[in-house]
Amino acid sequence: MTGTQSLSHRELELLGALRRLGGSARSADLAKALDVSEETVRRTVKALSKAGAVLRVHGGAHLVGAQSEPSFYHRFGQDSAVKQRIAAQVSRIVRDGMTVFLDVGSTTAYVAEALQRKSNLTVVTNSIGVAQALASHNGNRVHLLGGEMQSNERGTFGYVAEHQARRFVFDVAVLSADALTAKHGVLYQNAGEAQLATVVADCAECTVLALAHPKFDETAPHRGPLLGNLDRVVSDKAPGKKLTAALAGHGIGIDIAKDGSGEDGK
């Protein structure tokens, strides 16, 4: 790796911003942190990548040598068109002035971008990216939950996050997941994420699960909210017959974000 003495002032600034943001960040977040254009960020990241200082990932950068893996950014870049359609569909559920929870999922990050068109929201989140996307925007008030930072997820988890979440009543809670099954409900790879999702669902008037169809009937080790605690599932395709029947049995609506139309499906 090239020594820091050979890096430009702009490159050193970007490295500092990456460290402050937990080792990974999207180009838009870096541009905001440095008060420059995203094109400037992309050029700087390209130069730093050639120098071996950062790893370029879709839509952002990862600091070489950081303890976290760039898993969030790989997930963020996967199926981006599908996630954008799901996010647009979710945003139709949220009205101006609502109190909304958004978690750390990659699909939820797209929801945060879609919600930039809304105003006067009270946003509660454990996601650094969500907080950055919606803070100081259109009269929003943003509360970032405390707790233990997990830099690979760019979010906070644990007792403190759960305790603080219980102090709110959410008009809408938007959750992501690693799997959804008829038998076990919402499942996660991360135990802390599963526990926080369960707490949030208990505090919400409407709990929305936003996920792409490959996660239907998959498996993961940690149980989050039961089906009975969900109100809507938003996806790009309808689930299979068994899961559809289980959702219907709990009165859970299924919204399908169709390609190019964004119309609801049930």
pLDDT tens per residue, range 54-93: 888 777 888 776 544 445 555 555 567 899 999 999 999 9
> In the Cβ-directed half-sphere of 210, how many Cα atoms lie within 13 Å?
30
Contacts of 249 (CB under 8 A, 6+ apart): none
In a domain, 261, yes or no: no
**Domain range enclosing 25:** 4-76
Copy the structure tokens of residue 156.
Answer: 């906070």
Are 84 and 180 within one domain?
yes
Separation CA 240–CA 83 (nearest Å):
20
CATH of the domain at 159: 3.40.50.1360
Are 137 and 35 within one domain?
no
At 153 the pLDDT is: 66
At 258 the pLDDT is: 81
Query: Which helix or strand (DSSP H or E) is residue 148 part of?
Result: strand 148-150
Q: How confident is the model over 186-209, as pLDDT tens digits?
A: 999 999 999 999 999 999 999 999
Are 137 and 209 within one domain?
yes
Q: How many domains does the chain have?
A: 2
In a domain, 265, yes or no: no
Kindly give the pairing relationship between strand 232-235 and strand 253-256: parallel
Looking at 30, 48, 76, which one is the last position of a domain?
76
Q: Which residue reads 């996050």 in tokens?
A: 161
Are 112 and 67 within one domain?
no
At 266 the pLDDT is: 35
Amino acid of residue 51 = A
b vs e for 189-201, b when ≥16 Cβ sit within 10 Å of the residue's Cβ? ebebbbbbbbbbb
At 265 the pLDDT is: 37
Q: How confident is the model over 103-133, as pLDDT tens digits?
A: 998 899 889 989 999 999 999 999 988 998 8
Are 52 and 136 within one domain?
no
For 157, the 3-state DSSP assignment is strand
Copy the structure tokens of residue 6.
Answer: 């050979």
